[in-house]
Chain A
Amino acid sequence: EAGVAQSPRYKIIEKRQSVAFWCNPISGHATLYWYQQILGQGPKLLIQFQNNGVVDDSQLPKDRFSAERLKGVDSTLKIQPAKLEDSAVYLCASSSHRPGAEAFFGQGTRLTVV
């Protein structure tokens, strides 16, 4: 079974620029998550999708972050404009809809904003 795929692995941008991350979840997984992990901290949920609908985006800074999951499969997370404090690893995960299903994570995208 193929895992969660993310790209790019690394990205360096200047502040005020825009950036986009891509995620392809495990086939058949209805739930997709985007987490932000700042160095030394635990993952913070940015947005959670169920198919192509949003379940939770309460911690997504909507003035600069946006995410979509077209057709309920792949997802993109965008930051525009980026700030220095956005430097972090962005993790995508997916899980099935079964109760108690564990989430499977991709390797993440390390973003550095300079």
Chain B
Amino acid sequence: AQSVAQPEDQVNVAEGNPLTVKCTYSVSGNPYLFWYVQYPNRGLQFLLKYITGDNLVKGSYGFEAEFNKSQTSFHLKKPSALVSDSALYFCAVRPTFENTGTASKLTFGTGTRLQVTL
């Protein structure tokens, strides 16, 4: 069965400092990996994804994530945090089912609350 682990319930960082939100996954075969952000009383908003190719992917609002196959990780990073980045962040995985024409199951982690302070 596929799964996602986000080991930190909360990450605290000062504005201007770099941030990292950790994610590890378990899936049969190769993964598609995603990061989403959730603001209060809102749905999930897509940030970035890894499908194939370059292990470093760039997304919205200056966020990036690095895929590491040997460590089965997909950590979210940003060089300089903003107070407005404070939100709940979710990592998600789906296995690649090639040539079936059917989207595979999308599984989310439990989320990490990012708190950026002045």
Residues of A in contact with B (beta carbons under 8 Å apart): 4, 30-31, 33, 35, 41-45, 48, 50, 55-56, 91, 93, 95, 97, 99-108, 110
> Does B86 reach chain A (CB closer than 8 Å)?
no
When the two chains form their complex, are residues A91 and B44 in contact, meaning their CB atoms are under 8 A apart?
Answer: yes
Contacting residues, chain A, for B43 (C-beta < 8 A):
4, 91, 93, 105-108
- Number of chain B residues whose Cβ lies closer than 8 Å to a Cβ of chain A: 28
Give complex CA distance A43, B4 in Å. 12
When the two chains form their complex, are residues B96 and A99 in contact, meaning their CB atoms are under 8 A apart?
Answer: yes
Give complex CA distance A50, B45 in Å. 22
Minimal beta-carbon separation of B17 from chain A (angstroms): 26
Minimal beta-carbon separation of B105 from chain A (angstroms): 5
Residues of B in contact with A (beta carbons under 8 Å apart): 4, 6, 32, 34, 36, 41-46, 49, 51-52, 90, 96-98, 101-103, 105-111
User: Interface of chain B, helix or strand or loop or mixed?
Assistant: loop
19 pairs across A/B with beta carbons < 8 Å? A33-B106, A35-B108, A42-B108, A42-B109, A43-B90, A43-B108, A48-B105, A48-B106, A50-B103, A95-B103, A99-B51, A99-B97, A100-B32, A100-B51, A100-B52, A102-B46, A105-B36, A107-B42, A108-B42
When the two chains form their complex, are residues A48 and B111 in contact, meaning their CB atoms are under 8 A apart?
Answer: no
8 Å CB contact of B105 from A45, A101, A102, A105: A45
Contacting residues, chain B, for A91 (C-beta < 8 A):
43-44
Give complex CA distance A95, B92 in Å. 14
CB < 8 Å A-B pair total: 67
Q: Most chain-A CB neighbours within 10 Å: which of B34, B43, B45?
A: B43
Closest B-chain residue to A91, C-beta based? B43
Q: Most chain-A CB neighbours within 10 Å: which of B4, B36, B45, B103?
A: B103
Contacting residues, chain B, for A4 (C-beta < 8 A):
43
Give complex CA distance A2, B110 in Å. 28
Closest A-chain residue to B42, C-beta based? A107
Minimal beta-carbon separation of B2 from chain A (angstroms): 11
When the two chains form their complex, are residues B103 and A102 in contact, meaning their CB atoms are under 8 A apart?
Answer: no
When the two chains form their complex, are residues A103 and B110 in contact, meaning their CB atoms are under 8 A apart?
Answer: no
Give complex CA distance A31, B107 in Å. 15
When the two chains form their complex, are residues A48 and B103 in contact, meaning their CB atoms are under 8 A apart?
Answer: yes
